[in-house]
Amino acid sequence: MVRAMSPPPAIALEIAPPTKRDVIENLFQLYTHDFSEQWAGQARGELGEDGRFAPYSHLDSYWREPERVPLLIRTGGHLAGFALLNRYGRVRPAPDRAMAEFFIVRKHRLSGVGRAAAHAIFDRYPGAWEAAVARKNTAALAFWRRTVGTYPRAAEVEELDLNSADWNGPVLRFRIGNA
């Protein structure tokens, strides 16, 4: 018997205008909180006395440098996460796009929102891609393997294992074909 697949959740992408910079900054607090779980024993990831994590130092560059793309992700009309794309890969040659940051809020996890959002991003931005995953982030590695593996126009998928001053963890490289 063939198991019925539920349709992917409807998502919407919006290139965040400068007026929505603070929305991404707010979501980044939640993102950093998730990551801080992996930073036990390290200096980074401490809260400031205002109860917030240190702001993300590259955020403003997403509205200064045209090759960077800040995206908001919605499902059912509600904010569900964000993605930050740039062209700074960890491996040479540099990719056309790197998934610098990607986040789905906990309420909407494990329901296909992340995959649907990533696939919608791939639809919009074909070319050579890279997604670097921190070594301790085994959930994200499983997510990217499934998400890239189920995208119909993903080719030349390779997974490298980096342990350099620049990056410690797996790096997925792949090509997204044009529709």
Ligand X SMILES: CC(C)(COP(=O)(O)OP(=O)(O)OC[C@H]1O[C@@H](n2cnc3c(N)ncnc32)[C@H](O)[C@@H]1OP(=O)(O)O)[C@@H](O)C(=O)NCCC(=O)NCCS
Interaction between residue 97 and ligand X (CB under 6 A): no
Nearer of residues 90 and 115 to ligand X, judged by Cβ: 115
How big is the CA angle at 48 (ends 100 and 31), to the nearest 5 degrees? 30
Interaction between residue 146 and ligand X (CB under 6 A): yes
Contacts of 22 (CB under 8 A, 6+ apart): none
Interaction between residue 10 and ligand X (CB under 6 A): no
Give the separation between CA 104 and CA 74, rounded to whole angstroms.
10
Give the separation between CA 170 and CA 127, rounded to whole angstroms.
20
Select the residue interacting with ligand X from 21, 79, 111, 136 (CB under 6 A): 111
Select the residue interacting with ligand X from 139, 156, 158, 168 (CB under 6 A): 139
Strand order in the sheet with 11-15: 11-15, 69-75, 78-86, 97-104, 127-132, 168-176, 154-163
Select the residue interacting with ligand X from 10, 15, 47, 110 (CB under 6 A): 110
User: Which of the 8 DSSP states describes residue 24?
Assistant: H
CB of 49 to ligand X, least distance (A): 26
Task: Say if CB 130 and CB 173 are below 8 A apart.
Answer: yes
- Could you give the angle at which helices 113-124 and 138-149 cross, rounded to 10 degrees? 50
Q: Draw the binding track, 31-70, toward ligand X (x: CB under 6 A; -: no contact).
A: x--x------------------------------------
Interaction between residue 143 and ligand X (CB under 6 A): yes
CB of 35 to ligand X, least distance (A): 7
Interaction between residue 115 and ligand X (CB under 6 A): yes
Q: Which two tokens stand for residue 156?
A: 């030349």
Nearer of residues 109 and 153 to ligand X, judged by Cβ: 109
How many Cα neighbours within 13 Å face the side chain of 34?
A: 17
List residues near ligand X by CB under 6 A. Answer: 31, 34, 102-104, 109-115, 133, 137, 139-140, 142-143, 146-147
